[in-house]
Amino acid sequence: MDDTDMQRESVKKLKSGRYIIIDGIPCRVVNIETSSPGKHGAAKVRITAIGIFDGQKKTILKTSHDDVDVPILKKTKAQVVSITGNNAQLMDPDTYEIYELPIPEDLQGKFSSGSELEVVEVMGQKQISRVATGSG
Domains of the chain, by residue range, sit at: 3-71, 74-135
Structural contact between residues 28 and 52, judged by C-beta atoms closer than 8 angstroms: yes
Give pLDDT, residue 43.
Answer: 86
Task: Select from 22, 28, 117 the least CA-distant residue to 75.
Answer: 117
Confidence band, pLDDT 50/70/90 cuts, at residue 117: very high
Termini Cα distance of the chain? 36
Q: Report pLDDT digits (tens) over 79-107.
A: 999 999 999 999 999 999 999 999 988 89
**What is the CATH architecture of 3-71?**
Roll (2.30)
Burial of 15 from C-beta contacts in 10 A (0-12 / 13-18 / 19+)? exposed
Residue 66 has pLDDT above 70, yes or no: yes
Global pTM reads: 0.77
- Per-residue confidence at 127, pLDDT binned at 50, 70, 90? very high
Q: What is the CATH number of domain 74-135?
A: 2.40.50.140
For 3-29, what is each residue's pLDDT tens digit? Answer: 568 899 999 899 999 999 999 999 999
| Residues in a beta bridge with 57 | 50
Q: Which tens digit of pLDDT belongs to each residue from 36-50?
A: 877 777 889 999 999
Closest C-alpha to 53, from 22, 76, 7, 84: 22
d(CA 36, CA 52): 30
CA distance 47 to 28: 10
